[in-house]
Structure 1
Amino acid sequence: MMNKKSKIVLVGGGSTWTPGILKAMTTHLKQFPLEKITLYDIDEERQKVIGEFAKILFKEEAPDVKVSYTTDEKEAYTDVDFVFCQMRTGGFEMRDKDEKIPLQHGVIGQETCGPGGFAYGLRSIRDMEKMVKSVRRFSPDAWILNYTNPAAIVALALDKIFPKEDKVLNICDQPVNLLRSFASLIDFDANDFEPVYFGLNHYGWFTHLYDQTGKDRMPEIKEVILNGGFRPVDAEQRDQSWLDTYAMVEDMLRDFPEYLPNTYLQYYLYPEYKLSKMDPNRTRTDEVREGRETKVFNECRRIVENGTAKDSSVVHNDAHGDMMVEVAASIAHNLRKTYVVMVRNNGIVSNLPDDSMVEVAASLGANGPHPYAVGKIDTFYKGLIESQHAYEKLTVEAYMEESYTKALQALTMNRTVVDAKKARKLLDALIEANKEYWPELK
C-alpha cells in the first residue's frame, strides 16, 4: 500500500507557510510517496513566486514528482487524493483590520481570538464552504485537510453545513509545536509522547504526556517550566511576540497548575493584561509583514533567480509542514498514528455538548480519525469550554442565518469582550470593514 503515490493540491499555494509544507513533502517521500503537486491560489502574483520556487525545490530533491501551479479551480481540484487547505480570506489587509479595530475599542486584537477571530471566521466560512463544494464536484473522494483559521469556527461551520461529510479533517499545528517544545525541556523525542488532550481549537489542555514505558512525563515538564520558564523549541526562528506568548505558559501554570495549557488560552484568562501589552499602531500583522513575509518572498525570488534551492534557509522543516504531511500519510497508508485533531464531540468529553467540535487525541487511518475518550472534565474547564463553544456556535449561526442579533450575542459571550455595549460598537465597526466579505447581517 505504501507504493501508492498520492496527488495533492495545496490551496493557498501563495502562502508564506507553503515552502515549509513543500520541504516536508520532500523529506517524507518514503512515508508519503507523491505523483503530483498542484499549488492553487487566487493571487496570481504570490502564487507565481512560490510556484516557481516549488519547481526548483522538487527538481533538485524529488524530480519524479510533477509540480504545477494555477489560479483555475477546475485544474486544481480535478483528480486529486488530498486537498491541503490554508486560506486567508482578505489577506494581510483584512488581518490588519482584525487586529487593529478591536484595539481601537479597548479589546484584544488577535487574528484567531476575540473579535479579530470572529471577523476572520465569518470571512473564512464562505470560502471554505465554496471550496468543499468545488472539491466534491471534481474529486468526490478526496480528503480535505484544513489548516484554515480560525479553525474552531471553520470546523464547527463545516460540520453544520456538511453534516454527512466524512472526509474533511480540521487540524492545527499548535499542539505539535507545544509537544516539541515540552520534549526539548527533558531531552525527549516528541514523537514518542502519547498525549492526552482536551478542549476546543486554541482552547485546550494537556492532561498527561506518557512516554513509551507508560510513565507520565508531565510532572517533570511542569517543574522545569516553573523553575526556568518556557520557550518554543524553534525560538531562534520566532518573532518576539511568539516568545512572549510561550513565556505566558509559566503564568498560566502557576495560577492553574493541574494541566499544561495551549498558549492561546492566555488571551481568555488574562485579557486585561494582554491588552495592556498590545500596541494599537503595531500588531502581529506588521511583525509578520516585516519578518516572515518579506524573508520568504525575497528568498524565493533569489532561489528562482539563481536556479537552485540548495543553500536556502527558507525551506527548513517545521511543525506546520510536518504535521500536514504526516497526517495525510497516516490516512493514505492506514498507519493509525496518533494526532491531536478536531472531531464532533458525540460523548468524547462526556459532559460537553455533543455538537461541539472538540480537539482531542485520535488514531488516524484510512477511515479517518478514531478519537480517544476523555470522559468528564472538572467544573472550571467545563465552564470555560461551554462559554467558548456558545460563542463559536453563535458565530456560525450568525453567518448561516445572516443574523445581527446572533453576531452581537457571540461577541458578548466572548471572554475578551463581555460588555454588550462594547460588543455592539465593535460589531458595527467590523461590519463596515468586512462588507465585501460577510453576509449582510439583518
Structure 2
Amino acid sequence: MKLAVVGGGSTYTPELIDGFARLRDTLPIEELVLVDPAADRLELVSGLARRIFAKQDHAGRITTTTDIDAGVADADAVLLQLRVGGQAARDQDETWPLECGCVGQETTGAGGLAKALRTVPVVLDIAERVRRTNPDAWIIDFTNPVGIVTRALLRAGHKAVGLCNVAIGFQRKFARLLDVEPGQVHLDHVGLNHLSWELGVRLGGPDGENVLPKLLAEHGDAIADDLHMPRELVDRLSVVPSYYLRYFYAHDEVVRELGTKPSRAAEVAAMEKELLAMYGDPALDEKPALLAKRGGAFYSEAAVDLAASLLGDGGSPVQVVNTYNNGTLPFLPDDAVIEVQARVGRDGATPLAVPKLDPLYAGLIANVTAYEDLALEAALRGGRDRVFKALLSHPLIGQFDSAEGLTDRLIAHNREHLAWA
C-alpha cells in the first residue's frame, strides 16, 4: 500500500507518522511519500519520520519529493494538509477582520473565506493531477475549510472524503470521563465542519445507551471549561457544541479577547520554529510533547481509520466524516457537504440517518450552508461582488458596512493568491 501526504513538510506530519507506525496492523503502509514544495522542511520532517518508523520497527519506506505528479503516482490514497500562504497568511486572516469588529479566525467568518479563496484552486489543481496520474486513488482532505474544500472536490467529480479531528477529540475526551475504551463511544455528531453538535453520546454503538445526560450532570463544569462556554449554556442546550460554536454564541466577547493578545498564528509560528529545530536533532525518534500544543490532536488515528476503511476492511465501519448530504438533512440540498456519522467502505461514505433537528441547530446549519454555496462560487469564479455576497451572507457578519470593509481588506491582503484580483 502506498500513501502520499501533500503538505508533508508540515509540523503536523510527525503526529501522522506516529499514528501510521503504531497502527500499522490497521493500515499496512509499504511506502509513504511526503510531498511539499519546501525542500528544507521536508528534510527535517522526513528525517524524524524515518526515525519514528525505525524505533517502532515499521518496515515501510518513507520518501520525499517536491514534485506532486511524482509523489501521487500509484498512490492508493492521497492526504491533503495544505496551508496556502503559510502562517503569514493565517496571521492576516486572524487580524484584519478585527478592524471591522468581526471575529478573526482561519476557518470561519471573513478569515475563513480568505482561506477558502486561496485554497480551493490549489486543491483542485492537485486533485486533477491525482486523477490524471492515478484516477483510482482516494483523496482524504484535512485542509481547512474542510467543508468547502471537500465540496469543491466532490463537485469536480473526485473520489474524496473530508476529515476533521473535532469528533475524535470529543470521543477520546468522553471515553476518559466515562472510563471506557474510545471504541465504545459513539457520537450523535451532526452539523457542518466546525459547526457541529454532539446530540448524544452512546455506549457500544449507534443504538447504544445515550449517556450524554449523565456526562453533563457529572462533568458539566469540565466540559464547559474545555469549550470556554458557560455551564448554563451547555445545560440549557443539553448537547455539547463544538468549541467553534463559541464564535457564534459569544462573538463580541471573542472579538474583544482577540484584540488584546497575539494571534494564534503568531503563537503557532513560534512553536513551529521550535519544533523544526527539534526535528533536526538526530537523537529525536518520537513526536515531541510540544506537538500536542500545535493542534490536530488524534488526527493520525482518524486518518488511519478513514484510509483503512476506504482501502480495505481494517477501519471502523462508522466514522464521522465530511461528505455529500444526499437527503440526510432534508432542509439542505443533496450536494451540500455535511459532517455526520457515516458508513465508510471501499465505495466511500454514506451518512447515517439523523433525527429531525431542533430549529436552533437547523437554522444555523442552513444559514452557513448558504454562505458556503456563495463562498465556493467566489473561490471558483472570483470577483469582488461574489466575495461581498459571501461575506454579507455569513451569520457572523451580515451587515452592509462590515461586508464592504471586509471585502476590501480580504482582497488587499490576498491579492498575490487571487488570480482574478
> CA offset at residue 259 of structure 1?
2.0
Distance 1:245-1:427 versus aligned 2 partners, 3 A rule = farther
The percent of aligned pairs where both chains have the same amino acid is 30
Say whether 1:89 aligns with 2:84: yes
SS at match of 2:258: coil
Counterpart mapping for 1:31-180 below 5 A: 31-160=26-155, 162=156, 164-165=157-158, 167-180=159-172
- Runs of 4+ in structure 1 deviating by more than 3 angstroms, as ranges, are 249-252, 310-318
Say whether 1:221 aligns with 2:209: no
Q: Check whether the contact 2:94–2:106 (CA below 8 A) recurs between aligned residues.
A: yes
Counterpart mapping for 1:256-271 below 5 A: 256-271=236-251
> CA offset at residue 15 of structure 1?
0.8
Which is worse superposed, 209-218 or 29-38?
209-218
Out of 401, 410, 414, the position equivalent to 2:390 is: 410
Residues 141-169 of structure 1 deviation map (CA, whole Å, 9 limit, x = unaligned): 11111100011221222233x1x33x211
Say whether 1:182 aligns with 2:174: yes
Out of 248, 267, 285, the position equivalent to 1:309 is: 285
- TM-score, normalised to structure 1, is 0.89
Structure 2 spans left out of the alignment, 5+ residues: none
Structure 1 match to 2:227: 246
> CA offset at residue 440 of structure 1?
1.8
Residues 32-53 of structure 1 deviation map (CA, whole Å, 9 limit, x = unaligned): 1111011000111211110121
In structure 2, how many angstroms separate the alpha carbons of the residues matched to 1:175 and 1:186? 16
Q: Check whether the contact 1:225–1:250 (CA below 8 A) recurs between aligned residues.
A: no
Q: Check whether the contact 1:350–1:374 (CA below 8 A) recurs between aligned residues.
A: no
Counterpart mapping for 1:187-336 below 5 A: 187-212=179-204, 214-226=208-220, 228-230=221-223, 246-248=227-229, 250=231, 252-254=233-235, 256-279=236-259, 282-291=262-271, 293-302=272-281, 304=282, 306=283, 308-309=284-285, 313=289, 318-334=297-313, 335=315
Q: Which letter maps to 2:22? A: T
In structure 2, how many angstroms separate the alpha carbons of the residues matched to 1:311 and 1:51? 12
> CA offset at residue 194 of structure 1?
2.0
Say whether 1:423 aligns with 2:403: yes
In structure 2, how many angstroms separate the alpha carbons of the residues matched to 1:385 and 1:110? 19
Residues 5-50 of structure 1 deviation map (CA, whole Å, 9 limit, x = unaligned): x101111111111000000000001111111011000111211110
Q: Which letter maps to 2:405? A: K
Q: Check whether the contact 1:156–1:392 (CA below 8 A) recurs between aligned residues.
A: no
Counterpart mapping for 1:2-17 below 5 A: 6-17=1-12
In structure 2, how many angstroms separate the alpha carbons of the residues matched to 1:295 and 1:251? 39
In structure 1, how many angstroms separate the alpha carbons of the residues matched to 2:27 and 2:203? 26
Residues 122-145 of structure 1 deviation map (CA, whole Å, 9 limit, x = unaligned): 111011101100111111111111
In structure 1, how many angstroms separate the alpha carbons of the residues matched to 2:287 and 2:371? 47
Structure 2 match to 1:3: none
SS at match of 1:380: helix
SS at match of 2:223: coil
> CA offset at residue 221 of structure 1?
1.3
Distance 1:312-1:378 versus aligned 2 partners, 3 A rule = closer
In structure 2, how many angstroms separate the alpha carbons of the residues matched to 1:290 and 1:383? 39
Across the two proteins, how many residue pairs are aligned to each other? 415
In structure 1, how many angstroms separate the alpha carbons of the residues matched to 2:415 and 2:37? 20
In structure 2, how many angstroms separate the alpha carbons of the residues matched to 1:309 and 1:389? 43
In structure 1, how many angstroms separate the alpha carbons of the residues matched to 2:344 and 2:45? 30
Residues 164-185 of structure 1 deviation map (CA, whole Å, 9 limit, x = unaligned): 33x2111101111112112222
In structure 1, how many angstroms separate the alpha carbons of the residues matched to 2:380 and 2:9? 29
> CA offset at residue 312 of structure 1?
5.1
Structure 1 spans left out of the alignment, 5+ residues: 1-5, 232-243
Residues 74-100 of structure 1 deviation map (CA, whole Å, 9 limit, x = unaligned): 220111111111000010110011001
Q: What's the Cα RMSD here?
A: 2.1
Q: Which letter maps to 2:185? A: F
Q: Check whether the contact 1:390–1:413 (CA below 8 A) recurs between aligned residues.
A: yes
Residues 394-416 of structure 1 deviation map (CA, whole Å, 9 limit, x = unaligned): 01111223232221111112122
In structure 2, how many angstroms separate the alpha carbons of the residues matched to 1:287 and 1:414? 27
Q: Which letter maps to 2:42? A: Q
> CA offset at residue 225 of structure 1?
3.8
Residues 397-438 of structure 1 deviation map (CA, whole Å, 9 limit, x = unaligned): 112232322211111121222211111111111101111112
SS at match of 1:282: coil
In structure 1, how many angstroms separate the alpha carbons of the residues matched to 2:142 and 2:230? 23
> CA offset at residue 64 of structure 1?
2.2
Q: Check whether the contact 1:11–1:39 (CA below 8 A) recurs between aligned residues.
A: yes
Distance 1:439-1:248 versus aligned 2 partners, 3 A rule = farther
Residues 197-247 of structure 1 deviation map (CA, whole Å, 9 limit, x = unaligned): 211100011111111282111111112343x3327xxxxxxxxxxxx7623
SS at match of 1:207: strand
> CA offset at residue 329 of structure 1?
1.2
